A and B are shown apart, each in its own frame.
Chain A
Amino acid sequence: MIEFKHVNKWFGKLHVLDDVNLEIDKGEVLVICGPSGSGKSTLIRCINRLEPIQEGEIVVDGVPVHDKATNLTKLRADIGFVFQQFHLYPHMTVLQNVMLAPVNVRKIPSDKAEEIAREKLIQVGLTDKAGAYPAQLSGGQQQRVAIARGLAMSPKIMLFDEPTSALDPEMIGEVLDVMVNLVSEGMTMCVVTHEMGFARKVADRVLFMDMGKIVETGKPDEFFDNPQTHRAADFISKILTH
């Protein structure tokens, strides 16, 4: 479904992605972790070319994302992206946020789009907030709206960039619950997160990054209980002590 071949990317002199090779299958749930600045967010932002790469190939669902000539509008519509800071549209209600892309990108008539949007809001547990504005919601609620916004496009892939890092601890659970439900529906997912509980419960594979390199990959239990590299072991001990 998603394939990285010898991908290199630099921010100025900083080598943020260093010869990344990766394959993600349809229906797979991949958790990416690693210290801050390791390139994990950049990695998933490259999948729909929110960030361009300088070298290598990225092919997503048969579309060559690395090729500057590729028009990505269609592919992006098929990939849901959930940001750390939600990035809901503050001038629109929750319902309008969720309906915007279906109406304007998919050209779904607005009554049908509203139906879909309400369905997705039920799915994330926010039936009574359709008419509210983002600023009236808690962080956890905003992030769930953001997930509903992604799902309303019936995506083939959902990408999550630290979806719970900006949330107060008591709200993390409600967002993770929604994500766990998605996994049970067979969604292909890439999740940048340090939520070990989530990774253990639903991830097919954990990928550990450091300094722009994929250092280690493995089944979650193997990775967390018995990391093969020093750096991974060091990282796991740090997130465990907090």
Chain B
Amino acid sequence: MMAFYFSRLVEIFPFFLKGLWMTSQIAFISLATCTVLGFVLGILRSGKNKLIRWIIGVYVSFVRGTPFVVQVFIVFFILPEWGIQLKAFQAALLAMAIMGSAFICEIVAGGINAIPKGQWEAGTASGLSLVQQLRLVIVPQAMKVILPPLVGQYVLLIKDTSVVSVIGVMELTRVGWVTVVRIPEGLMVFSLVGILYFVISYPLILLSNYLERRMAV
């Protein structure tokens, strides 16, 4: 019996690979977007403008204080109300970007705030513009603080892509769901799904551990 299921599984393995490809796409695009957005927000959050800081703070609190699955539904269902039709894939990317950038924003702001005020002053006093101070002096130093938790966050975000299966995006978890309907060997199906996630996450976990050790020195 087991052998029979296994051969079925081999038969539909290409289907899993498609799911993996979709998951990788969502992960890659949303990680890139989250990183850019997260850095911009994080830099603004560590800045002097109180209003901007407050607004970003509210945004971050909202994202942290609500389940991601609810955020996905909000993005997927609220935009059509305003006449914006999003495909499930686009909604998934948007929800990921909103959620991920909030977490990365906090990591970046934390890193920047860890740099002593004197570093800003030294830059200011020598005539560097604010952007130059950030680019040449502050961010390169803050990266030591930012990088280990950032890569850790990447792992969490990759795993969170499984949530967008709820709006029907045919990524890895969704493929698992669809498959168990046909092959009632749930353990085997979802073990395979799990292994495929692990294959993408594990290198990043190793990288995060490595960075943590290196940056601690």
Query: Which residues does A use to contact B, with CB under 8 Å?
Result: 48, 50, 73-74, 76-81, 83, 85, 87-91, 100-101, 104-105, 149-150, 153
- Which B-chain residue is minimally distant from A152 (CB atoms)? B126
**Given contacts A91-B141, A104-B136, A83 and B128 within 8 Å (CB-CB):** no
Does B140 reach chain A (CB closer than 8 Å)? yes
With both beta carbons as reference points, the residue of chain B lying nearest to A79 in the complex is identified as B125
- Could you list 29 A-B pairs, sorted by A, with CB under 8 Å? A50-B121, A50-B124, A74-B127, A76-B124, A76-B125, A76-B127, A77-B127, A78-B127, A79-B125, A80-B125, A81-B121, A81-B125, A83-B118, A85-B118, A87-B118, A87-B121, A88-B122, A89-B119, A89-B137, A89-B141, A90-B141, A91-B140, A100-B128, A100-B137, A104-B136, A105-B127, A149-B126, A153-B126, A153-B127
Kindly state the separation between the CA atoms of A87 and B140 in the bound complex, as whole angstroms. 15
Contact assessment for B119 and A101 in the assembled complex, using a CB-CB cutoff below 8 Å: no
Contact flag A73-B129 (CB < 8 Å), given A91-B141, A100-B136: yes
Partner of A77, one of B116, B126, B140: B126
Q: Is B132 an interface residue (CB 8 A)?
A: yes
Chain B residues closer than 8 Å to A80, beta-carbon distance? 125
- In the bound complex, CA of A101 to CA of B133 (Å): 10
Beyond A73-B127, A76-B125: 16 further Cβ-contacts under 8 Å? A73-B128, A78-B127, A81-B121, A81-B122, A81-B126, A83-B122, A87-B116, A88-B122, A89-B119, A89-B137, A100-B137, A101-B127, A101-B128, A104-B132, A149-B126, A150-B126
Looking at the assembled complex, report how far the CB atom of A105 sits from the nearest CB atom of chain B, in whole angstroms.
4
B125 touches A104 (CB 8 A): no
**How far does the Cβ of B114 sit from chain A's closest Cβ, in whole Å?**
13
Closest partner residue, chain B, to A77 (CB atom): B127
A149 to B121, CA, bound (A): 14
Indicate if the CB atoms of A50 and B127 lie closer than 8 Å.
no
- In the complex, chain B residues 131-158 whose Cβ is within 8 Å of any chain A Cβ: 132, 136-137, 140-141
B122 contacts A87, C-beta separation under 8 Å: yes
Contact B127 A89 (CB under 8 A): no
Contacts of B119 in A (CB 8 A): 87, 89
Cα–Cα, bound, A101→B132 (Å): 10
* Bound Cα distance from A182 to B45, whole angstroms: 42
How far does the alpha carbon of A48 sit from the alpha carbon of B127 in the complex, in Å? Answer: 10
Q: Which of A89, A104, A105 contacts B122 (CB 8 A)?
A: A89
Taken together as a complex, chains A and B put the C-alpha atoms of A74 and B137 apart, in Å, by 19
The residue on B at minimum CB distance from A83 is: B118
What's the nearest-Cβ distance from chain B to residue A121, in Å? Answer: 16
Q: Which residues of A contact B116 (CB under 8 A)?
A: 87
Q: Contacting B125 at CB < 8 Å: which of A48, A89, A90, A100?
A: A48
1/0 per residue, CB under 8 A from A, across B84-126: the answer is 0000000000000000000000000000000010110110111
Q: Give A179 to B197 CA distance when docked, in angstroms.
A: 62
CB neighbours (8 Å) of B121 from chain A are 50, 81, 83, 87
Q: In this complex, what residue of A is CB-closest to B125?
A: A81
The 9 closest A-B pairs by CB, nearest first: A77-B127, A81-B125, A101-B126, A87-B118, A87-B122, A105-B127, A76-B127, A73-B127, A91-B141
- In the bound assembly, the distance between CA atoms of A85 and B116 in angstroms comes to 11
Q: A90–B125 Cα gap in the complex (Å)?
A: 17
Q: Are A76 and B126 in contact (CB under 8 A)?
A: yes
CB distance from A145 to the nearest CB of B (A): 12
Chain A residue nearest to B122 (CB atoms) is: A87
A98→B198 CA distance, assembly (Å)? 47
> What is the bound-complex CA distance between A149 and B126, given in angstroms?
9
Task: For A89, list chain B residues within 8 Å (CB).
Answer: 119, 122, 137, 141
Question: How far is B136's CA from A116's CA once the two chains are assembled, in angstroms?
Answer: 20
Bound Cα distance A66, B27 (Å): 50
Known: A91-B140, A100-B136. A105 touches B126 (CB 8 A): yes
A188 shortest CB reach to chain B, Å = 16
Across-interface contacts of A100 in B (CB, < 8 A): 126, 128, 136-137
Docked-complex contact A105 and B128, CB < 8 angstroms? yes
| B residues in contact with A90, CB < 8 Å | 141
Q: Which residues of A contact B136 (CB under 8 A)?
A: 100, 104
Report the minimum CB–CB distance from B171 to chain A (whole Å).
39
